[in-house]
Structure formats: C-alpha cells, structure tokens
Amino acid sequence: MNGQEIPKAYDAKDWEDKLYHAWEESGFFNPDKCIEAGVTKVDAVPFSIVLPPPNVTGTLHTGSACMLAIEDLIVRFKRMQGYRTLWLPGTDHAAIATQSKVEKIIFEEEGKTRHDLGREELLKRVETFAKASHDTIIHQTKKIGSSLDWSREAYTLDEKRNFAVRTAFKKMFDEAIIYRGERIVNWDPEMQTTVSDDEIDYVEKNSPFYYFQYGPFVIGTVRPETKFGDKYVVMHPDDERYKEYQHGQKIDLEWINGPITATIIKDTAGDMTFGSGVMTITPAHSRIDFEIAKRHGLDIEQIIDDQGKLLPIAKEFAGQGIKEARKKIVEKLKTKGLVVKVDEQYAHNIATNSRGGGVIEPQVKKQWWINVNKEFERAGKTVTLKSLMQDAVRSGKIKILPERFEKVYFHWIDNLRDWCISRQIWYGHRIPVWYKNEEIYCGIEAPEGDDWQQDPDTLDTWFSSGLWTFSTLGWPEHTEDLKTYHPTALLETGYDILFFWIARMILMTTYLLDTVPFKTVYLHGLVRDEQGHKMSKSLDNIIDPLDMIADYGADALRLALVIGSSPGNDVRVGDEKIISFRNFTNKLWNIGRYVQTQLTTSDSQPTIVPIPKSDADHWILKRLQDTAGEVTRLIENYQLSLAGEKLRDFTWTEFADWYVEIHKVEKNDTVLCFVFETLLKLWHPFMPYVTEALWGISGNNTKNLLMVEQWPSFAKASEGKPAVDGASSFQLVIGLIQEIRAIKAFYQIDPATKLSITVRGESQQSIQKNEAIFKRLARINEIHFSETLPPHTALAQCGSLQTFIELEGVIDFDAETKRLENEKSEKAKYIATLETKLSNKNFIERAKPDVVVAERLKLEEARKQLADFEHHLASLV
C-alpha cells in the first residue's frame, strides 16, 4: 500500500460523487458485466433482490434510507463473495397516492378538479409529476451509495409491467379467480373511489353516542343518519332476555319518519355484552350488517349516496350532508320522545383513507374482486389462494425474519377476505375488460370493433406491485433473467407493509408461477428520533437523508441506520449518533494515512496471509481471522448490527489502539498492510465510499475496484496461518499491560508517568520476548528481572504472567493509606446496608424480582471492590 499521498482529512463531498460515477462506469452493478470482466464466475450461484419500489409521490425519507443501507450492505457482501448478484431497481406509480397529490396541487393552484380537466389532461399532469419525483428519488438513491443494476430499472406502470398485469388479470379472470360482484366496500366520497382494507387509517375520536327507543328495545349508535332504513332487529339466539321473540317475528313501532314494521333476526353476530344486546342493522353501510343481511336474504337499501349526502329515503333530510343532517335527525327523534340518553364523550375509531385523508363511507358497490377461497387444481391437489399463501410460509419455503412476524402473517391470512382490486381513479392500470351491450370481453389486447367500451376503472396499485419479483425479470415471457434470478433470494422491507405488499406478492407468485417470490423476508423497523419518537412534521424531528449526507457523509448515515438496528425492531437515529459514526469514518481514514506513511516498499501481497514474525503478529492475524469469520457468519444470518459492532471493536481497539502502536516498535509492514487492506474489504459493504477511496489510493490496488474484490477468507491460508500459541501468549501480554494501567488509575498515578517493575519466575521469558512493546505500551522505564522483590510493590497479573510495580517514590504512602482506609470504611458501610436490605423478608417478598437481582449484583460488586482495597492496603505496609 504505497500509492499517492492520502489527504490529512476525509471530506465525503470530495469523494462520493466521483466514486459513484466510477462504480457506474465500471458496469459492475450489472452481474453480466461482472461475468464478462471475469470478477464473477460464469457458473456462480445467483443471489437476487428486487428493490421495494419507492412511491413517485415525493422524496425518500429515513425509512427508505435505512432500507437502502441494509440492502446495499447485503448486496455488496454477496457480490464480494462471488455470487452472481443482482439488485434490481424500480419505482411504484402508487396510483391513489400520486393522483391524490396531483389533484390537491391542481385544486390549490387553479381551483380545478379532475373532472374540469378531463381524463387525458389529468394523466398528463400526473405523469409529469411522477417523472420529476422519480428523478429526485433516483438521485437520492444513488447518493446513499446503492449498487443497483440501473440497466434493469423498472416502473410499475411501464409497458412491460402493463403487459404482465393484463396477462395476470386475464388468467385469473378465465379461471374465475377474478369476478365482478356487488359487495360492501370502503368508499371515499372525497376521492370518489374504493380503498382497500389495508389502506385504512383509524383515527380515534370522541363523538356523542345516542340511545334510541326502537319499539320495545333500546338501541345505540354514533350514526343516527344511517337509521332511516333500519327495519331489522338483531339479537343473539341465546340471549335469555329476548327468548319470547321469535326469528322472523314482525313488530310495529314508531320511527324517524313515522310508523314502520320491523323484523326480528336471530343471529350470532348479536353482542349480548354490549348495551341492551339488541341492534338494528344498515346493510348498505356496514360490513357486519351487510354480512348479516346476506346470510338471511334481507333487503339492502342505500341511505347515503356516493357524495356522502342523504338519499330520498331520508325525506325532509334528503340532499343534506352527514354532519349537517345528524343534529337535525336527533332533534326530531327527541320531539318524538325516542331519545333515551346521549353519551357525549364516546371514544371510537373513524376509518379514513391513508392516501387522501377522506372519511370512509362503507357502500355496496359492483366491483372487481379476487376470490381468495375459490378452489382450483394445482399439481393434483385442490387448493385456494389462501391455502397457497399459508403453505408458502408454513412449509418453510419462505422464512420471515424475525420469526415472530410469522404469527402476524398467519393471523392476517387466516382471516383474509376477497380482495377488491378495482379503483375509480384514472391513474393506474386500466382494467382489461370491455363491454358491448350485454357482452363482456376480457383480453390482453383490446377487442376488434368500434362498439366496445373499456371498463373505466383502474386496478389497485398492489395488483401490479404483487407481480414485482417476476414482472421485473421479464414475465410472462420465459426470459433468461427469470430463469436465473427467480425466486429471488431475499426481500428486505419494513414490517409495516407485511400485509400490503409481501402477502400479495406471495398470493400472485404462488398462483401464477407455482413457486414462491423469495426465500427469505427480512423486516426492518421504523426509524425514530433519538428519544424514540416517530418522525413527523408536527414534532419537527424529521431527518432528511440528503441533509445528513451533506453534513456528515453517506457512510456515517449508513452506519447510524444499520448499527443498533435488528430485524423487526425500530432504530433510533439522530445527529449525535451520525456524528459518532462520522468520527469513526475519520478514524479509519487516519489509520489508512498512518499505514501508508509507514510503508517504504510496495512488495506486500494483500491477498496472501503473511508470515508472522512475532507473537504480536500471530495475535493480530488470529484475531483478524476470528473477526472475519464471525462477521461473515453474522451477515449471512442477517445480524448486520452485531457484525458491524464486532468489526468496529476490532478496528478501533485491537488494530488501532494495539497493533498500530506495536508496529511502531516491531515494524512488520507486511502484516500491517495485510490487516488494514483486509479491514477495508470487511468494511466495504457497511461504508463503501471511504473504503473505496482508501483502496483506490493504495499503489498496488489498481487492478480492481474494491467493490469486486474477493471477500476475506482464511480457509486456504498457507504457512503464515496464525499460530494459536503465539496469539494466546500475546493476549496475556495485552492483559498484563491493561492491569498495569488499571493499577495506575487506582492509585491516581498520571498515565504518562513511567514506572519500574520487577519480574520474576516463569513470567520473565514472556516479558523479555516482548520487552520493547511492554515498555512502550505500559509506560515502563525499567524492567528488573529478579527473584527478590523490593518493598512496596503492587501486583499486576494476567493468567500466568505477573509483574510487580515499584511504588516507592511514586505515591505518598501516608496519604494513599489514609485515602484507601476511608474508601474501605465507606464501602464496608455500603455493604452492610445492602446486606440488611437483602436479609429483610418483606423487601424480598414485595420487591420486583429484577430489583432484588439488581441489589444482589450491587452487593457482589461492592464486596469485590472491598477486597481490592484490602489487597492494595496490604501492598502499602
């Protein structure tokens, strides 16, 4: 390592853009180019990931940055291991979210709606917005250092993906998996579209809860405006309070707009524990009520229209909005003596559209659905989509990390309902169905003739996203990419879209390809601020990844997002944490500067384990081998944070604090260079920029970029294989030096003070062998090898090694004796207090178990400290 001079400080701005450009220019993000260049073998095992496509609705956030940091770490690791590694990029058109955002902008700037513009003009506006957003997202993705194969970039709404969507729809339509039918849906009156169950946000709100007299019964509701059509009274068949009432029995009663005849319905959906145990139902505006009506063949009458206004059934209230009409309806019921009481502060959840914020109004609509319980044949077995989704995980074909999310997955799948896939918006994949009079045609291409009218609805964005792992690889054609890279090896994404996306990919892939979309699912958590709060505009705690990169560098941000994070758990990130990793980046840079300035030749062979010349060499090479093996194992098991922590500890402590100092004595340049360049390889997946920069300015590293160097492996180490005995022996030397430093601290001796020590017995040979290192690192002035000990010494021992520190003339014995006697007395009192507390039965019985354990640990530690005081006092006599 003897190339150009390394600048004194590492400034990320000077390196990141030009390094990313070099990576792109090399073509090595593309696995085909790696094979052509000979850095990857033709028969290498494939490893593939598809990037969870960011929505083209704005910019990336810290959660996206976390995803990119984790995935790039894994991809770079696999590429260096020699896998045929593909990381496939793309973006998501995010139909409802994108159209909603553009419509909002148009209305704010021009006061116009989509209907004012028309379908064609709106789609032009949305595409322009999506393109600008796409370009911003790609720029951000590259800034983080993502080694994605941009030659294969995809978009969920491009022509290839549209062809895949049409193909999938037709196959499912032909096999009656997709059907059109009237069912209850989540309707957003503001956006005038259906919304999937998974895109509902529930907002807690306090509202009045009304109790009304309904004939002989008391019913409760927060929505009086839906009660005009209520003519069925539901009660549990086992409710003893109402045993005199029969199923189907008619009763006459006075209601909002006059007398009505109601019908008694006995159904287990009746909740005997809530209120009076009786409820009336509004089948057109409640999923539960709709299902009851379907079971019993009851009338389903719409009360509220698509705009959220009351229909003629409400008579005098017809045409009024829900909020406007509610109070008036209650007032009318009061005048009729039908209001029993009102609970003004009833806490309940309001369903809202997560994409636009509109309040959801359940409606019965004719929509397109995927039947998850439709039986069909697969490999000689009768299956359903639901059973395929269950088997994919239960069989072990897909592993979810962390495993606890498997229970969450099964809970959701076991309760899965038919999936409503049609949306009444204009941006998205148009449903490939055409109508002519009573005829219906479904096809990949439009039917011939002018009289056919295509269905105006678009598909739920998750329909196209569900095809992502294979539509990006060329399906429905049988491409080489599809054959090579599918199923993908890993899906890494946030746990919050386990239902939105992961489950739907499993559904589509198991049905259409009869295989799984991926073998392992790694779920990362949310990125929170340093206090553990979720990032939000209202708290003003949002971290912009580009701002952090500009201030501290991409490597520091990546480390802050990865280290401290584990699958399924949230990670805390703030300026302080990022700064600490910026400092570590600078530490690695400074180590590199030292290594380069110390080398005078360029004859090192960094790919070959060098021959150790001393115990210190044996030790550092053995520790490097152990660390490399442990880091490899941890990354392969997706324990990324722990891998980074192990590597940081070795780099900062064992290499920088110990071996670099040892090198100043022993000057084994070959070992120094080999260890450092191996560290650059190990660190590269975590912090690619600074490692590539250091690698590139090393004189003998001009053949390959670091990103395609071989991952460190000691399996074929030659005669230089670290010797365990030498390594173990030197570990004792290190331990002894640490003991001497601890004794200095105990006696409050200035660390810079040089001491004299006496060594006797078997320890003499080990100390003599490493005398120069020992003197430098332990700050020793003289070493006396003698069996006779001078008076007033302090014993420092590690394993079989012993030295005696000469304290005469170094400390004030009278003052030190007094200090230690005082501390011994205080410690003895503290121990007595703890012993009294722990002997108190009341404390043991009443205190929490962890509190009792903590107190016992305090006592154990205090007793050790007392023994130390007594030992050191004895040395002063």
Average pLDDT, the chain: 90
* Neighbour count for residue 712 (Cβ, 10 Å): 21
Q: With bands split at pLDDT 50, 70 and 90, how would you rate the model's confidence at 1? A: very low
* Neighbour count for residue 499 (Cβ, 10 Å): 17
Using the predicted structure, report yes or no on whether residue 134 has a pLDDT greater than 80.
Answer: yes
What share of the chain in percent tops pLDDT 90? 66
Residues 6+ positions from 538 with CB-CB distance below 8 Å = none
pLDDT of residue 238: 94
Which tens digit of pLDDT belongs to each residue from 394-427? 999 999 999 999 999 999 899 899 999 999 999 9
Q: Report how far residue 421's alpha carbon sits from residue 418's, in angstroms, rounded to the nearest whole number.
A: 9
Using the predicted structure, report yes or no on whether residue 70 has a pLDDT greater than 70.
Answer: yes
Partners of 255 in the beta sheet? 258
* Neighbour count for residue 124 (Cβ, 10 Å): 11
pLDDT of residue 181: 94
Report the SS3 class of residue 548: helix
Q: What is the DSSP string of 183-252?
A: EEEEEETTTTEEE-GGGEEEEEEEEEEEEEEETTEEEEES-GGGGGG--EEEE-TT-GGGTTS-TT-EEE
Mean pLDDT across the stretch 51-63?
Answer: 87
- Nearest residue to 718 (alpha-carbon basis) of 611, 621, 604: 611
Using CA atoms in the order 824, 826, 828, 831, what is the torsion angle rounded to 10 degrees? -130
Q: What is the DSSP string of 283-316?
A: GGG-HHHHHHHHHHT------B-TTSBB-GGGGG
Report the SS3 class of residue 414: helix
Lowest-pLDDT range, 24-28, 167-171, 570-574? 570-574
- Nearest residue to 418 (alpha-carbon basis) of 99, 182, 762: 182
Rg (CA), the chain: 36
Tokens of 871: 């030992």
Tokens of 513: 């390809």
Which tens digit of pLDDT belongs to each residue from 172-182? 999 999 999 99
pLDDT of residue 717: 42
Q: With bands split at pLDDT 50, 70 and 90, how would you rate the model's confidence at 602? A: very low
Residues 6+ positions from 754 with CB-CB distance below 8 Å = 779, 780, 781
Using CA atoms in the order 547, 552, 553, 556, what is the torsion angle rounded to 10 degrees? -110
Using the predicted structure, report yes or no on whether residue 716 has a pLDDT greater than 50.
Answer: no
pLDDT of residue 332: 94
Using the predicted structure, report yes or no on whether residue 245 has a pLDDT greater than 70.
Answer: yes
Q: With bands split at pLDDT 50, 70 and 90, how would you rate the model's confidence at 119? A: very high
527-528 vs 571-572, strand pairing mode = parallel
Tokens of 114: 């989509």
Lowest-pLDDT range, 343-352, 489-498, 574-583, 594-603? 594-603
Which tens digit of pLDDT belongs to each residue from 252-288? 999 999 999 999 999 999 889 888 999 999 999 998 9
This prediction's pTM: 0.86
pLDDT of residue 572: 87
Q: What is the DSSP string of 45-86?
A: PEEEEE--PPBTTS---HHHHHHHHHHHHHHHHHHHTT-EEE
Lowest-pLDDT range, 41-55, 245-259, 315-329, 863-877? 863-877
Q: With bands split at pLDDT 50, 70 and 90, how would you rate the model's confidence at 719? A: very low
Q: With bands split at pLDDT 50, 70 and 90, how would you rate the model's confidence at 720? A: very low
Using the predicted structure, report yes or no on whether residue 877 has a pLDDT greater than 60.
Answer: no
* H or E segment and range at residue 694: helix 688-696
Tokens of 416: 């899965």
- Nearest residue to 169 (alpha-carbon basis) of 323, 404, 368: 368
Which tens digit of pLDDT belongs to each residue from 619-647? 999 999 999 999 999 999 999 999 999 99
CA 17 to chain centre: 27
Percentage helix, strand, coil for the chain under 3-state DSSP, each rounded to 5? 50, 20, 35
Better-predicted residue by pLDDT, 774 or 73: 73
Q: What is the DSSP letter of 658?
A: I
Using the predicted structure, report yes or no on whether residue 873 has a pLDDT greater than 90.
Answer: no
Better-predicted residue by pLDDT, 18 or 9: 18
For 220, what's the count of Cα atoms within 13 Å in the CB-facing half-sphere? 15
pLDDT of residue 767: 87
Distance between first and last Cα of the chain: 55
Q: What SS3 string covers 336-404?
A: CCCEEEEEEEEEEEEEEECCCCCECEEEEEEEEEECCCCCEEECCEEECHHHHHHHHHHCCCCEEECCH
Mean pLDDT across the stretch 29-37?
Answer: 96
Supply angle C-alpha 215, 217, 219, rounded to 5. 110
Residues 6+ positions from 104 with CB-CB distance below 8 Å = none
Mean pLDDT across the stretch 236-240?
Answer: 94
Residues 6+ positions from 625 with CB-CB distance below 8 Å = 714, 717, 722
Q: With bands split at pLDDT 50, 70 and 90, how would you rate the model's confidence at 314? A: very high
Report the SS3 class of residue 91: strand
* Neighbour count for residue 205 (Cβ, 10 Å): 11
pLDDT of residue 125: 94
Q: With bands split at pLDDT 50, 70 and 90, how would you rate the model's confidence at 495? A: confident
Q: Report how far residue 265's alpha carbon sits from residue 294's, in angstroms, rounded to the nearest whole number.
A: 12
422-423 vs 458-459, strand pairing mode = antiparallel
Mean pLDDT across the stretch 89-98?
Answer: 92
Q: With bands split at pLDDT 50, 70 and 90, how would you rate the model's confidence at 244? A: very high
Using the predicted structure, report yes or no on whether residue 185 has a pLDDT greater than 60.
Answer: yes
Residues 6+ positions from 495 with CB-CB distance below 8 Å = 405, 523, 524, 525, 568
Residues 6+ positions from 184 with CB-CB distance below 8 Å = 284, 286, 287, 290, 291, 362, 363, 364
Which tens digit of pLDDT belongs to each residue from 189-237? 888 899 877 778 888 888 899 999 999 999 999 999 999 989 999 999 9
